[in-house]
Amino acid sequence: MLLSIHAGDADVKRFFHEDLIRILQTLYWSLRLYGIIKEL
């Protein structure tokens, strides 16, 4: 029982981690594009 709960918790953490990286990458590229457009 405890093992399955722990495995599910690890899945949730991994999902959140991947989601966070995707959000950070999107923000990063948005800022890069904004900076490039501003300089034009």
Taking only the tens place, the pLDDT of each residue in 1-40 is 455 556 667 777 777 788 889 999 999 999 999 999 999 8
- Using alpha carbons, select from 34, 35, 31, 12 the residue that is nearest to residue 23: 31
Token code pair at residue 20: 């966070």
Could you give the CA distance from residue 13 to residue 20 in angstroms, rounded to a whole number? 10
Q: Which residue has the tokens 């405890």?
A: 2
pTM of the model: 0.54
**DSSP per residue, 1-40:** -HHHHHHHHHHHHHHHHHHHHHHHHHHHHHHHHHHHHHH-
**pLDDT on residue 30:** 96
Give the pLDDT of residue 12: 74
Tokens coding 31: 């800022």
